[in-house]
Amino acid sequence: MPGLPAEIEVYPVHHLPILKAYADQLGLVSLINHYVPTEMNVDAGTVVLGLVLDTLSGRSPLYRLEEFFAHQDTELLLGKALPPQAFTDDTVGRVLERLYDFGTMRLFTACAVRAVTQFDLERRYVHFDTTSRSVWGEYQFAETQDLPFQVTYGYSKDKRPDLKQFVLSTLCVERAVPIWGKPEDGNASDKTLNATLLSEITQLLARYGVQPGAYIYIADAALVTADNLAALRDTLFITRLPATYSECGRVIAEAVARNCWEEVGVLAQTPPTKHRPGTFYKVAEGSVTLYGQVYRAVVVHSSSQDQRRQQHLAREIQTSYATLEATVREATQQEYFCYADAEAAAAKLRALQSAYHWVEVGVEEHPTYGPGRPSAKKPRVVKALRYGLQVTLRERSEVIARKTQETGCF
């Protein structure tokens, strides 16, 4: 029929046009081409955009990137119609080498700065964290080659200690938008990475006249070391004090004892359900002294108490009972010839206590009778009196209640 095209091509685009729109707002292609100009048939910016689209679609190996674009509307997604052959692994490999020669961190920083200004991201709070990425294969010479980072065994956050790995450290704003990132050795320590990053960003920000108090550095408990706290200097920071520090237990115990909480309420953005009710928070302020320096401390109580810590408390209570019960068992099996001796033994037992139990002791009479069967008409004649101890172990309910509340605090 006249007016109809000879052939209609149909592509499933899914979410990719949205990604392309964000890349256009960011000016990703022009930014890459500005810093990494090439004379190749396909420019470096377009190759990077193609890699981004592929990565956020599940990620293909480089040698299959050509196959990925064979099923995409390249004119819609890349701004120009390109054949799939434009994304051979040789072409992409050459672009990646150019990016590496220029400096991937420099490029990432340039993109991050533009994203921060273009999308008006909140920059006062910066979050640092790391994650491990496991890899498969031999990697026989990874530890001996001169590489930017070493693929090796380390603490696996994805629970695969049998695999070698590398670590990604990131600095984010707006909760999860990375503005800085770097691959690290697979056995890198978060404590050391914090110290290195603090030194780098302090120097970088000082170069541009940014004062330490202009931003708040947020990191996990690995930040709390003598070197890291010294490196922070005047930088404002938020972190979690590890429970291994005695100051942590002390300030929590004080907050529970004072019982002067400020209610924060439910913070979760997702609505509660029957099986996952919303967690209610309350806070109390105190202070801790670490390495000779006093820091503000905020004790947080969560209604969804830590199950692991509750189990630990239950084991402590059970051990307390078993230890005390073994101590008093021998005394309960003895008989005393006079009341005074029995009462003296009972007084000693009453002085015993453990972290979670105390001893309740009573003296019982154990009469002994003469030989023969008892008469129905006359009461039995008591020949002698002996005395024993009746012992009951009672829980220290106030202590257990306080400790239970402390397990819900951090």
Q: How far apart are CA 44 and CA 270, in angstroms?
A: 41
In this structure, the dihedral spanned by the alpha carbons of residues 150, 154, 160 and 161, taken in order and rounded to 10 degrees, is 120
Q: Would you say 365 and 338 are in contact if contact means Cβ atoms under 8 Å apart?
A: no
Q: How far is CA 190 from CA 64, 129, 165, 194, in A?
A: 35, 8, 15, 6
* 95 backbone dihedrals φ, ψ, rounded to 5°: -65, -45
Domains in the chain: boundaries: 16-109, 121-240, 241-270+277-304, 308-398
Helices 28-35 and 44-55 cross at an angle (nearest 10°) of 130
CATH 1.10.3470 fits 121-240, yes or no: no
Per-residue pLDDT of the chain (410 residues; tens, 9 = 90+): 566 666 777 778 889 999 999 999 999 999 999 999 998 989 999 999 999 999 998 888 888 899 999 989 999 999 999 999 999 999 999 999 999 999 988 898 889 888 888 888 888 888 888 888 898 887 676 566 777 888 888 988 888 889 989 998 888 888 788 888 888 899 998 888 888 888 777 776 666 566 767 889 999 999 999 999 998 888 899 999 999 999 999 999 999 999 999 999 888 888 888 777 788 899 999 999 999 999 999 999 988 877 778 888 889 999 988 988 888 888 888 888 888 888 888 888 888 888 889 888 888 888 887 777 777 777 777 778 888 888 888 898 888 888 888 888 99
Q: Would you say 268 and 278 are in contact if contact means Cβ atoms under 8 Å apart?
A: yes
Q: Would you say 116 and 171 are in contact if contact means Cβ atoms under 8 Å apart?
A: no
